[in-house]
Amino acid sequence: MVTAKAWVLKKHFEGPPKNSDFDLKKIELPNLKDGELLLESVFLSVDPYMRPYSRTRMKEGDIMIGTQVARIVESKNPAFTVGTFVVAGSGWRTHFISDGKDLQLLPSSWPESLPKSLALGTVGMPGLSAYFGLLEVCKMKPGETVLVNAAAGAVGSVVGQLAKIGGCKVVGCAGSDDKVAYLKKIGFDEVFNYKTVTSLDEALRKASPDGYDCFFDNVGGEFASIAINQMKQYGRIAVCGAISQYNDSLSQKGPYVQVPMIFKELQMEGFLVSRWDNRREEGLKALLKWVMEGKLKYHEQVTEGFENMPGAFIGMLRGENIGKAIVKV
């Protein structure tokens, strides 16, 4: 019999999450039935979406939601062999049982030299968010100017690089000088630290005096309110995240978007990457190819130890990571 460890939501978050909001539980797993698998988490993901989803999709006492790269350690399902690595959405736990229906195999072309944790980042949900958000929502075209905020994060860093692959000029903003240096290193054309500029409006204008064709928004709030006024005519805005607002107890008040949207004839669209689940394979294949060719670079912030899941999550929401925040069990 296997004893799994799991992090549960002890108390709904009020403002920024705290260590005391989580509880570590031990769960005795039953023996496998026919058709079932026992899996062991190897890498776990911490992502911004977990903050708002914890309120809307979880109750106190539930295991924290999330995805992992897991290894099959026992199988009574002929479709899955022991030792196979898969991506699962089984939350913050060390071991779990599955019937296999909810598991996604890593692409068959995945090279041994590539960290499997990338299936939670650049070649996973964040990478797919960048891919479909840019291609299907922003509909970027060569020669256009693309703005992305939270640009050193798991999604933003991929957005900028895909826009460069697509022949665009890329402007990014991030919250530390280390992040700015990283973004310049991976090919962003213009980057600034929004925490140190005297005026966000002036920084955006200086980075692209002619304005922006596409804006990939991961932040929302004040940044988005200022950036929308610098969009070009017929500009497109993909709303992927609103991390500046996830910890708010009270909703932020305007400014409001209608006037610039009308007079610049803008398109602004929110999206969830699950909309393109039927094209997941296409996206992963393209992302993996670019990684292999060296056109798409990645950086992971790896926290060691399952016991440090809450700390990694809290740090990610504070913006302490460059690239994808991962926990290695």
pLDDT exceeds cutoff 90 at 136: yes
Percent of the chain at pLDDT exceeding 90: 94
Domain boundaries, the chain: 2-120+299-328, 125-274
Give CA–CA dist 138/235, Å, rounded.
Answer: 8
Q: Are 131 and 283 in contact (CB under 8 A)?
A: yes
Give CA–CA dist 252/46, Å, rounded.
Answer: 25
Res 1: pLDDT: 83
- Identify the DSSP state of 69: E
Strands, E assignment, 149-230: 169-174, 190-193, 212-217
HSE on the CB side for 225, CA within 13 Å?
Answer: 9
| Cα three-residue angle 152-165-105, rounded to 5 degrees | 75
> What are the tens digits of pLDDT across the range 252-276?
777 788 999 999 999 999 999 999 9
The fold adopted by the segment(s) 125-274 is Rossmann fold (3.40.50)
Res 189: pLDDT: 98
Q: Which residue has 């993901």 as its token pair?
A: 45
Give CA–CA dist 74/149, Å, rounded.
Answer: 43
Mean pLDDT computed over 298-323: 97
Closest C-alpha among 65, 64, 43, 120 to residue 305: 43
Res 8: pLDDT: 98
Percent of the chain at pLDDT exceeding 70: 100
Structure tokens at 292: 């292999």
Res 10: pLDDT: 98
Query: What is the DSSP secondary-structure string of 16-67?
Result: S--GGGEEEEEEEEPPPPTT-EEEEEEEEE--TTHHHHHHHH--TTSBPP--
Res 233: pLDDT: 98
CATH superfamily of 2-120+299-328: Medium-chain alcohol dehydrogenases, catalytic domain (3.90.180.10)
> What are the tens digits of pLDDT across the range 79-132?
999 999 999 999 999 999 999 999 999 988 899 999 999 999 999 999 999 999
Cα 260 to Cα 54, 227, 271, 282, distances in angstroms: 33, 10, 21, 35
| pLDDT band with cut points at 50, 70 and 90 for residue 248 | confident
Domains 2-120+299-328 and 125-274 share a fold: no
